[in-house]
Structure 1
Amino acid sequence: MNRAPQAEALRYRAFISYSHRDKAWAEWLHRGLETYRVPSRLVGQRTAAGVVPRRLAPVFRDRDELASSGDLGRQVNQALAQSANLIVICSPAAAASRWVGEEVLAFRRLGRDGRIFCLVVAGEPNAAGDNQAQECLPKALRLPLDGNGPPGAKDAEPVAADVRPGKDGKHNAKLKLVAGLLDLEFDQLRRRELQRRNRRLTALACLALLVMLVTSLLAIDAVIARHAAERRQKQAEALVDFMLGDLNDKLAQVQRLDIMEAVDDKAMDYFQSLPPTDITDEALQQRAKALEKIGSVRSDQGHLAAAMAAFQAAAQVAGPLADAAPDDPERQTSYAEILAFIGMTDWNLGDLDAAQRHFEEARNVLQRAQSHAAGDPELIFLLTSIDNNIGHVFEARGKLDQAEAEYRRMLVRCTALVAGRPPNAQWISQLGAAHNNLGKTALVRGDLAAALAEYAADDAIETGLSARDPKDNDQRENTVRVRATLGRTSMMVGNTPAGLLQMQQALDMATQLAKVDPSQTSFQQKVALYSSQLARFRRLTGDLPGASALVHQSLRIYSALTRQDPANADWQQGLAEARSEQAAQALAAGRDDLALGQVGAALKLLDPLLAKQPDDRATLLDTATARLQLAALTRDAPRARQLRERTLLLLQKVSSGRGDPRLLALQTDALLGMGRKDEATPVIGRLWASGYRDPALLSLLRHEQIDYPRNPQFEQRLASANQRRQP
């Protein structure tokens, strides 16, 4: 390997060249190299790269774009000239990047070919044939220079570390690069690193055991020596703070989850062994907060039973503190937050009764605190969250009136919270959620004008927040969600141009998010869902080719997602919805056999889901739609009638939200399919009164020669609502 240039002439240990699509890898590598400490037994050795230093900093990572002229910027050229090594993050994006290629050429022209190293993060090196699109090595890196000119024609074999699955892994890949930069043997560096890591783990484990031992001894001494209890209690709490804070963080860094759990368990045992008497209020508050933290960690790990034990232990401490100081808002809110955590754990465990009880208890505590801190914005925000949670419990139970009352209370609080105060994105987003909740209950109740108005209000809020911070992908995802909801509702009221535009906007934004972070499955799922739903609208408006392309995209994404996690019910339902839409397209094209196969595949997914979640509205609607499709395709008339009767019974058994126009439209389809026009007539009347004009219903009624004029009163309501929303 070539000797490195003189250290005194250089400023940077290395220059990292990468495509902007590999920014996350560049940030990881930059942080890993600059924070890496060379094992002390290697520091000071002389190698071909110079004297081994204690640290590798500084490392240059360019954040600018390539100049429009096609030349590297002055700062980048200067940094390359002052860098002892070049590290290229290799991927198909890097191979296609002019920016990366120019940086490699500039460095090679300095005569430092031997100081170039690669980190392969995706694709294949030296790909050939059909795999050429997967080539990850930039052309300027693969081909040697002809003198000082452009690359020649012979393949090169650059030294590379590889983080792809089944290769080096992130830790070994980083060590390989470190070894190359310092001109050390990789095995030598790895052995030294392993020795250091083992020493660190041993020290941390010993420290954890020592802390647990000291804590236990302090607990025993506190019982024996009353006069020394307060002093020793403070020492114990400080040790526990260290165990749950710094020590847990250090153990997480070295992936010693077993010791972390042992530390948390020991802390739990310690807290539960101490009586709440003869201890200062400050120490008790500290204990409650620590127990709440333990519960949150366990909940994040999916250990719901252990999380519940921690939250309940925290409540046993925080409850008496709150009762003893009813005029202390901080104690009241701390106790209410713990009760809300218990309620959320009940919800996740499927116990709706317990969840509602704890949410309502939390609200009572907060309302008691309001008498002493009526204008406290954080207290008001907590109350809006409790309103939201209680509303969801009522909604899950089919009690839509009670749910709507909670959502209206939430809206009133949120409106007061954001009025006259500095902008707070979290509060404003909560206001949007309140409008969305009310839109959902209005739709299920059959009030389409109110639903559209609420969704439009949420859309305006989410769009404004996204414009304020365009880089906030979570907020952009909220905007995508409500835009799609608004598009579907626009189609329901017969505003086809607006519905198509809004659905297309939602799909375009979801596609952009998926490109920004392809690993984020929620973005991919939205692309698949909105592709399927837009395909339905395209089909119903006569664009069968456009609908076909969209549903194929949806099926491709959902198929990949369900292979990744077959137990994900949302993805299974989405796949079934896409198959049902493909069946409708096949039926429209006269391909009954294909349609029959897709409907059968959809029901194979939907029937088990409906059995597990009989009150889930989306699953019910999708199942009823697929069964009516199957009835339309069945040539056996008695069998077709039986399918329609069973579907009608399923729809009529719904205990709440029976005015949902989507349910009524499916009932109309079933009744007309059985020739029961007299029974369908009052249902059609309810749909007309609600203003429902979905293209599928209009097509069905035209086929049955049933008059269905526009509803001028409903259209006037929509126009008035639009005027009120104008700025």
Structure 2
Amino acid sequence: MREIDKARWPRLSPLLDELLDLDEAGARAARLQQLQAAHPELAEDLAELLRRQAEQDAADYLAPPLLQGLAAAEPGPRLAAGQSVGAYTLERIIGQGGMGAVWLARRTDGRYDAQVAIKFLSTGLAGRGDAGRFAREGQILARLAHPHIARMLDAGIAQLDGGIAGTSAGRLPYLVLEYIEDGQPIDRFCEAQQLDLRGRVQLFQSVLAAVAHAHNRLILHRDLKPSNILVTPRGEVKLLDFGIAKLLDEGEDEHALPSGTASELTQQAGRAFTPRYASPEQVQGGEVTTATDVYALGVLLYLLLSGRHPTSTSDNEASTTPLERMRGIVEVEPRKLSETVRAQGGERAKKSARDLRGDLDTIVAKALKKAPAERYANAAELSEDLRRWLAHEPIAARPDSAYYRTAKFVRRHRWGVAAGTFASLAVAAGAGLAVWKAQEAHEQRMQAESLIEFMLGDLRKKLEPVGRLDVLDAVGEKALGYYSQQDARSASADSLGRQARALHLLGEMADARGELDRAEQMFKQAAQSTAELLARNPGEEARVFEHAQSTYWMAYAARRRGDLQAAAAQFEAYRQLAARLTALNPGKPEWQMEQAAAESNLGILQLERNQALEAQQALTRSSELWRQVLAQRPAARLDYASTLGWLANAHQALGDYKQALAAQAAKVALFDDQTNASSNSEVRHIQATASFYSGQLLLLMGQLDPALGKSLEAVVRLKALQALEPGNLEWLQHLCFAQLLVAEIHLAQGDARAGRLALAAVQADTEHLLRQDAKRLAWQVKLKGIQLTLSARLALLEGKPLQTAPLLNYLDGVRTFEGGGKRLKPENNRVVAEAQLLAGDALVESGQAVEAQTLWLNLVNRLQAQVTNRDQDAMALQALALLRLDRPQEALHLAETLAATTYRHPRHAELAALIKK
């Protein structure tokens, strides 16, 4: 048996890990042959260790963990299947590498029955470091409690026969960890599930959440790689193996370890990394920080999105030498992510490259910077930029050009507002070179304009990475002070353009900080500048577009402060400017898209103002424009689908349920010809929500069986999406609403048992969302209200008394929201009205008739605007309240109106039955 010098272990360990990570024997042999040519002695050691591993695999035991000869010890104790270790019985080895071995075991002390993973440390590190390293890993895992980190369940010392070098005779420390059943390394999971780009980024966010949790607790992982990140069949990410993790506050923890152990472990474990995912500072023996983990995360993200390693110089990575790999990590700048994908050839690669180009290129490049100070500081910062990319928001890693911010804002606010689509916020071209003159006025102008150019350019680039954009306020105020004293009519176009651009920037910053009044003031001043420019050149497209953007910002600010009337006026002006652009250049798709977005924004705002007919007309015009432009701009398909969804809502508000169903079907049909629709999470989400809204519409029409089919279809689709990204609260919210719709339909069918089961199924997820955000109306008013009213309906169906307290507590919370100036949307008003109706019934049962009357009167007043606009669900609820208030004639009038429509919700039958009495 070949003797292995223990001093060579720091060099052997990472190479052994690399070889063990290669699944195919051929790849492992090829890599070992390369090492043989470069480092014959190391290669012989590695071959010996691999031979011992093969023997242990065949014998199905660990004796002693993998590296017996490393400490030149006598044969140590053997671990075997069926052996007891504490409260657990070993079943089989499930993994081993240069740093140790892991056994599958089962708890057999009778307390509970569950499988676990037990980790035994190899004796590869220096003698007195073994126990210390295990103690450190245990301390680290004890600090961590996160759904995406495999939990430590127990720890102990196994009493075994014989002795192991570096431990007390017959005593082997172990850690008991959560067992991840059927987990796949994250890269294999992505390939097996054929996840699209967004799906991979969303899954990666779970990894970042786990690493950020560790960073927040001053823990570095230092060995992030696919084999340490498993994904369960349900799509749940689990981060493993903190064996070489580092505590940033080691000074405190050293006292918990034997004397000298901490520093020794730090030196040894710091070298025990996997080279393929190591950062430049790791391979050079430099200081490690949270940015070290960020580099490994960047490598992993690059690999997940391109299928290639960022420093690979050939398709066959096994052909590169260790020296070439080392140089690649330390010296070679990675190729752009999108270029790597494009080089793979084919139409699919070209499309993927287009999707990666820009923000994802920038995000990944920042994570892979050679200098730690130039990377994201930690996993949370990287996660935030990816969140921004997913939400179509401007990312922090990229200095914002005016064009860039405008294009992003469109996607971000597709639901309700839209800035210019393919043009810049810059209202004028660059400043150009100014000729110095001696006049004081000219000097002042030059100083002001230089300040603004500096603010929008170099200063912003320097301040944004460190989160100090607030400094721009002072610079901007000083520069804009000059302009406030000038007559806009005498200013040059360049000066006005720079002024408007600076005002837009300062307004956005103020808005982001919640300073709405200041933001609106800035937007108003910018609009004055662009109005002056437009007045000078009324037929110039660029000037019309520039003023359209300022008008949009004015509408946005008004809507943000809750002044929907002022917002509507500004959005109408924005729509007219967009139409003017189309008139000036009818063949330009960008202007057609601008007009389509403007019409859509106005329609959505009108829906919020209970102007359903006007909303329907605007959204119909928008849909037609999107349809026309689709052939030239296929990417507009998502915007078109969004508009069709809002159009369906407008039809529903007008009681035209058939047209609403047709709009939902048309929304889904937009993607029928897309071959990758099944792997595109955005398209799948559109299909899921279309099923949900169709189920709602069928329920309103009284078609309960088809409604149930559609709602169950929505649940299935949303569960599949949720499995891709368990942490996505928006998708979880939609799933909860779909499950509640299933419960509502079951109750409408009189099936109490099925209704109870459906409500129970959604209980935990609903409570989770309610805990996440105490101010979110969609959850605290709508979601909570639907759950409570359905629970009350279930009690009535089962012949049980209504519980008054939960309903009244909910209504107290609603009053608190409304007392703070919040305006409830029509859909939320209907939910609150249902709760008021049932709470009144509960009060009557308890002898509090006067209090019940007050609630029902409030309900009638709450819904009056919606009833005036012929909201049929609101009409039914108000009629039920009027009957309880002993106003039968008014209720009868509403019932007769509803009878002439297609509204056949179960409330309609309830109303008809009460009127007959």
TM-score range, shorter chain: 0.5 to 0.7
Please give the per-residue CA displacement for 1:320-378, whole angstroms capped at 9, x wherever unaligned.
33333333323321221222122112211122343233323333333333332122222
Look up the match of 2:455.
240
Q: Structure 2 vs 1, CA of residues 271 and 476 (structure 1 numbering), >3 Å: closer, same or farther?
A: farther
- 1:299 equivalenced with 2:349 (yes/no): no
Q: Structure 2 vs 1, CA of residues 403 and 700 (structure 1 numbering), >3 Å: closer, same or farther?
A: closer
| Match for residue 583 of structure 1 among 792, 817, 839 | 792
Q: Structure 2 vs 1, CA of residues 502 and 233 (structure 1 numbering), >3 Å: closer, same or farther?
A: same
Look up the match of 1:136.
151
| TM-score, length basis structure 2 | 0.55
Look up the match of 2:894.
683
Question: Contact 2:610 / 2:866 at 8 angstroms: preserved in 1?
Answer: yes
Cα distance in 1 for partners of 2:826, 2:680 equals: 31
| Match for residue 778 of structure 2 among 542, 546, 570 | 570
Question: Contact 1:610 / 1:619 at 8 angstroms: preserved in 2?
Answer: no
Shift of 1:657: 4.8
Q: Residues 211-222 of structure 1: matches in 2 within 5 Å?
A: none
Look up the match of 2:471.
262
Q: Structure 2 vs 1, CA of residues 678 and 266 (structure 1 numbering), >3 Å: closer, same or farther?
A: closer
Cα distance in 2 for partners of 1:499, 1:106 equals: 57
Q: Structure 2 vs 1, CA of residues 466 and 156 (structure 1 numbering), >3 Å: closer, same or farther?
A: farther
Q: Secondary structure at the match of 1:508?
A: helix
Look up the match of 2:533.
321
Shift of 1:435: 2.7
| Match for residue 756 of structure 2 among 548, 554, 570 | 548
Shift of 1:571: 1.4
Question: Contact 1:384 / 1:410 at 8 angstroms: preserved in 2?
Answer: yes
Question: Contact 1:352 / 1:393 at 8 angstroms: preserved in 2?
Answer: yes
Please give the per-residue CA displacement for 1:177-203, whole angstroms capped at 9, x wherever unaligned.
997434899x99379999x99999xxx
Cα distance in 2 for partners of 1:77, 1:540 equals: 66
Question: Contact 1:223 / 1:229 at 8 angstroms: preserved in 2?
Answer: no
Cα distance in 2 for partners of 1:563, 1:551 equals: 18
Look up the match of 1:381.
593
What percent of counterpart residues are identical? 18
Look up the match of 1:48.
none
| Match for residue 432 of structure 1 among 641, 651, 668 | 641
The gaps in structure 2 that reach 5 residues or longer are: 36-41, 47-92, 102-120, 165-169, 177-209, 223-244, 249-264, 273-280, 293-370, 376-432
Look up the match of 1:692.
903
Cα distance in 2 for partners of 1:193, 1:680 equals: 67
Question: Contact 1:271 / 1:287 at 8 angstroms: preserved in 2?
Answer: yes
Cα distance in 1 for partners of 2:766, 2:438 equals: 61
Cα distance in 1 for partners of 2:709, 2:157 equals: 46
Q: Structure 2 vs 1, CA of residues 170 and 688 (structure 1 numbering), >3 Å: closer, same or farther?
A: farther
Look up the match of 2:604.
392
Shift of 1:268: 4.4
Q: Structure 2 vs 1, CA of residues 627 and 106 (structure 1 numbering), >3 Å: closer, same or farther?
A: same
The gaps in structure 1 that reach 5 residues or longer are: 18-59, 63-70, 86-100, 201-217, 707-727
Q: Structure 2 vs 1, CA of residues 277 and 698 (structure 1 numbering), >3 Å: closer, same or farther?
A: closer
| Match for residue 448 of structure 1 among 638, 643, 657 | 657
Cα distance in 2 for partners of 1:4, 1:106 equals: 13
Q: Pairwise CA RMSD of aligned residues?
A: 5.4
Please give the per-residue CA displacement for 1:408-431, whole angstroms capped at 9, x wherever unaligned.
33223222222x32412xx22332
Look up the match of 2:567.
355
Q: Secondary structure at the match of 2:585?
A: coil
- 1:599 equivalenced with 2:804 (yes/no): no
Question: Contact 2:503 / 2:523 at 8 angstroms: preserved in 1?
Answer: yes
- 1:532 equivalenced with 2:740 (yes/no): yes
Q: Secondary structure at the match of 1:446?
A: coil
Q: Structure 2 vs 1, CA of residues 273 and 570 (structure 1 numbering), >3 Å: closer, same or farther?
A: same
After superposing the two structures, state which structure 1 stretch, 405-414 or 646-655, moved more.
646-655
Look up the match of 1:164.
214
Shift of 1:163: 3.8
Look up the match of 1:642.
853
| TM-score, length basis structure 1 | 0.67
Look up the match of 1:401.
613
Look up the match of 2:832.
623
Question: Contact 1:142 / 1:156 at 8 angstroms: preserved in 2?
Answer: yes
Shift of 1:290: 4.7
Question: Contact 2:98 / 2:122 at 8 angstroms: preserved in 1?
Answer: no
Look up the match of 1:364.
576
Q: Secondary structure at the match of 1:260?
A: coil
| Match for residue 769 of structure 2 among 552, 555, 561 | 561
Amino acid at match of 2:576: N
Cα distance in 2 for partners of 1:393, 1:73 equals: 63
Cα distance in 2 for partners of 1:513, 1:16 equals: 36
Amino acid at match of 2:613: D
Q: Structure 2 vs 1, CA of residues 548 and 648 (structure 1 numbering), >3 Å: closer, same or farther?
A: same
Q: Structure 2 vs 1, CA of residues 433 and 572 (structure 1 numbering), >3 Å: closer, same or farther?
A: same
| Bigger share in helix | 1
Look up the match of 1:96.
none
- 1:415 equivalenced with 2:591 (yes/no): no
Cα distance in 2 for partners of 1:395, 1:162 equals: 41
Question: Contact 2:826 / 2:866 at 8 angstroms: preserved in 1?
Answer: no
Look up the match of 2:727.
519
Cα distance in 2 for partners of 1:391, 1:436 equals: 12
Cα distance in 2 for partners of 1:549, 1:692 equals: 28
Shift of 1:488: 0.4
Question: Contact 1:234 / 1:283 at 8 angstroms: preserved in 2?
Answer: yes
Q: Structure 2 vs 1, CA of residues 354 and 219 (structure 1 numbering), >3 Å: closer, same or farther?
A: farther
| Match for residue 189 of structure 1 among 277, 284, 287 | 287
Please give the per-residue CA displacement for 1:100-120, whole angstroms capped at 9, x wherever unaligned.
x966447758989549999x9
Look up the match of 2:325.
none
Look up the match of 1:670.
881
Cα distance in 2 for partners of 1:697, 1:142 equals: 69
User: What number of residue pairs does the alignment pair up?
Assistant: 603
Question: Contact 1:104 / 1:141 at 8 angstroms: preserved in 2?
Answer: no
Question: Contact 1:466 / 1:479 at 8 angstroms: preserved in 2?
Answer: no
Please give the per-residue CA displacement for 1:614-657, whole angstroms capped at 9, x wherever unaligned.
66312321222122223434334954873685266336632665
| Match for residue 493 of structure 1 among 695, 701, 707 | 701
Cα distance in 1 for partners of 2:289, 2:702 equals: 70
Q: Structure 2 vs 1, CA of residues 467 and 477 (structure 1 numbering), >3 Å: closer, same or farther?
A: farther
Q: Secondary structure at the match of 1:690?
A: coil
Cα distance in 2 for partners of 1:637, 1:583 equals: 18
Amino acid at match of 2:905: D
Look up the match of 2:871.
660
Shift of 1:553: 4.1
Cα distance in 1 for partners of 2:518, 2:8 equals: 56
Q: Structure 2 vs 1, CA of residues 468 and 142 (structure 1 numbering), >3 Å: closer, same or farther?
A: farther
Cα distance in 2 for partners of 1:656, 1:223 equals: 70
Cα distance in 1 for partners of 2:913, 2:579 equals: 56
Cα distance in 2 for partners of 1:164, 1:400 equals: 50
Q: Structure 2 vs 1, CA of residues 494 and 264 (structure 1 numbering), >3 Å: closer, same or farther?
A: same
